[in-house]
Amino acid sequence: MKKLFILAISLLFAGSAFAQLSDVSGQLFPKKSAEPIVGALVTFTSEWDKDVKYQRKSDAEGFRVVLPQGGYMMTIEAAGYETYTLEIEVDEPHIDLTTITLLTTEQAATRDAKRKKRFAK
């Protein structure tokens, strides 16, 4: 019984050693500005287990997070900006999302008002 337990534990660790990791990065900017957004919370939530989350705060260089490969919902939250969400399949060693543009809450409200007016006709 003891040998079976040790074998099971060994297989568990061996499987996790072969888990593929990916480096995901990007830069955050407000619409119509060249100044990066610093302090935004970038969250990757696993599509398989909603309790599994990876989080980083953005800095002047953007964000970078190392994740196990799989499907995620990426959410970006920053004070004064509309929340940004993106479904992403992490399946390569490095994924550069380049520039992600966030709308201020005022810009988002203006956009929504224009849409509402356009569809009301």
Secondary structure of the chain: what % helix, strand, coil (to 5)?
A: 25, 45, 30
pLDDT > 70: percent of the chain: 83
Tell me the average pLDDT of the chain: 88
> For 66, phi and psi rounded to 5 degrees?
-105, 125
Mean pLDDT value of segment 58-79: 97
pLDDT at 90 over 60: yes
Domains and CATH numbers, the chain: 21-120 (2.60.40.10)
Mean pLDDT value of segment 86-98: 96
